[in-house]
Amino acid sequence: MSLTIMALAEPNRLHIVELLRDGPRPVGEIADKLRLRQPQVSKHLHVLSKAGLVEKHQSAQQRIYNLRPKPFLELENWLESYRYLWEERFDRLDEYLVKLQKDETKKKGKKHG
Amino acid sequence: MSLTIMALAEPNRLHIVELLRDGPRPVGEIADKLRLRQPQVSKHLHVLSKAGLVEKHQSAQQRIYNLRPKPFLELENWLESYRYLWEERFDRLDEYLVKLQKDETKKKGKKHG
DNA sequence: TAGGAATATTCTTTTACAGGAATATATAGT
DNA sequence: ACTATATATTCCTGTAAAAGAATATTCCTA
């Protein structure tokens, strides 16, 4: 998870991933389409590879990179634990503020009594 | 999207977000639980705030931070465009390799004829 | 096996950004 | 007004990591 997010946080790497969403691509084509230098693309792909986001297949001199599902699936699972944020009817903030209010009332009561 | 991911990519910020998943928290409590210094927490919260991931509410001297749904929802939507990765029956890689194979065959044919 | 094409690696330089320390600001209570 | 508490801001420094440049490696073809 953390590795996945860190790999995706670099803008050019995110672009590469978004390009690969449309299908597998050799390094040179990625460099062309994104107007990056080949060595930087290779380096970014290396990082993405370490994070398990892409895999490499060889075809003559070319290296074809394509996305791997696992980290995306994991990201999706992680996100699920935040789904309550837009699905819950009432905010937890309200809850919290009401709780604070109550605690405050208690304190004052104690002091006086 | 890009902003969201970049904000989440810093480990301590991710921890903060995961802590806030359980409910709103004042700065000091975040610092305590994550064993971070207060100024760093404030700074991280500032970044998270700029990315729209958190909002701040005031209660006496305390500032209560809590998660905002929007960026999570957007992340979820973004992820949806990758869902084919684990839902599709056949790999796009196979497709691509077969295509390469065909192109190669064509080339050789041309040369000879 | 020489040469060319595609990609990877290495080394250096540059830059963004996280942390540390000190200080400033805001709010409440006395 | 003064003090304490909670948080924010500023300035400085160190460092990780991205880009640039040059070179190495791998593989195919003639």
Q: Would you state the pLDDT for residue A64? A: 97
| Residue B36 DSSP one-character state | -
Residue B35 beta carbon within 7 A of nucleic strand C: no
- A35-66 pLDDT tens trace: 999 999 999 999 999 999 999 999 999 999 99
Please provide residue B55's backbone torsions phi and psi, each rounded to the nearest 5 degrees.
-130, 160
- B38-90 pLDDT tens trace: 999 999 999 999 999 999 999 999 999 999 999 999 999 999 999 999 988 77
Measured between CA atoms, how close is B87 to chain A, in angstroms? 9
Residue A82 lies in a domain: no
Comparing A88 with A110, the larger pLDDT belongs to A88
Chain B: residue whose CA lies nearest to A100: B59
CA–CA separation, B11 and B1 (whole Å): 18
Residue A37 lies in a domain: yes
Q: Does A79 sit within 8 Å of B72, measured CB to CB?
A: yes
Q: Would you state the pLDDT for residue B95? A: 82
Burial (CB count within 10 angstroms: exposed 0-12, middle 13-18, buried 19+), residue A62: middle
Residue B90 lies in a domain: no
Most confident among A50-54, A100-104, A106-110 (mean pLDDT): A50-54
Residue B49 lies in a domain: yes
Domain count within chain B:
1
**How many Å apart are A26 CA and D30 C1'?**
25
Positions of chain D reached by protein Cβ under 7 A? 4-10, 17-23, 26-30
Residue B51 lies in a domain: yes
Residue A63 beta carbon within 7 A of nucleic strand C: yes
**How many Å apart are B62 CA and C14 C1'?**
40
Quote the ipTM score.
0.90
CATH of the domain at B23: 1.10.10.10
Residue B16 lies in a domain: yes
Q: Does A21 sit within 8 Å of B82, measured CB to CB?
A: yes
| Residue partners of A106: CB distance under 8 A and separation at least 6 | none
Q: Would you state the pLDDT for residue B69? A: 96
- A70-81 pLDDT tens trace: 999 999 999 999
Residue B110 lies in a domain: no
Residue B47 beta carbon within 7 A of nucleic strand C: yes
Q: For residues B2 and B16, is the Cβ–Cβ distance under 8 A? A: no
Please provide residue B75's backbone torsions phi and psi, each rounded to the nearest 5 degrees.
-60, -40
Buried/exposed code over A79-108 (b: 16+ C-beta within 10 A; e: otherwise): eeebeebeeeeeebbeebeeebeeeeeeee
Establish how many alpha carbons lie within 13 A of residue A73's alpha carbon, considering only the half-sphere containing its beta carbon.
Answer: 9
